[in-house]
Amino acid sequence: QPSRREFGLMIVYYAKRGDKHHARATFENMRARGIDPNAFVFTRLKGD
């Protein structure tokens, strides 16, 4: 199972490519696995 850090890196990768769909899907997968996102992940999802 990916760690919080690994999920965060995947979300950053998708966000930098402008792939909001996969960034959001990765976020949802993270939550479904019981891994709470941190502020870094939320910031990347918002696009800041």
Residues 35, 29: Cα–Cα separation, whole Å: 9
pLDDT of the residue at 47:
66
Rounded alpha-carbon distances, angstroms, from residue 29 to 13, 14: 15, 14
> In the 8-state DSSP scheme, what is residue 36?
P
Q: Provide the sign of the torsion angle of the four alpha carbons 21, 46, 6, 28, taken in this order.
A: negative
DSSP-based three-state secondary structure for 21:
helix
The pLDDT assigned to 42 comes to 79
Alpha helices in 1-48 (DSSP H): 4-16, 20-32, 39-46
pLDDT at 29: 96
Q: What is the pLDDT along the chain (48 residues), one digit of tens a residue?
A: 899 999 999 999 998 999 999 999 999 999 999 999 888 887 877 765
Look at residue 18 in the predicted model and tell me its pLDDT: 92
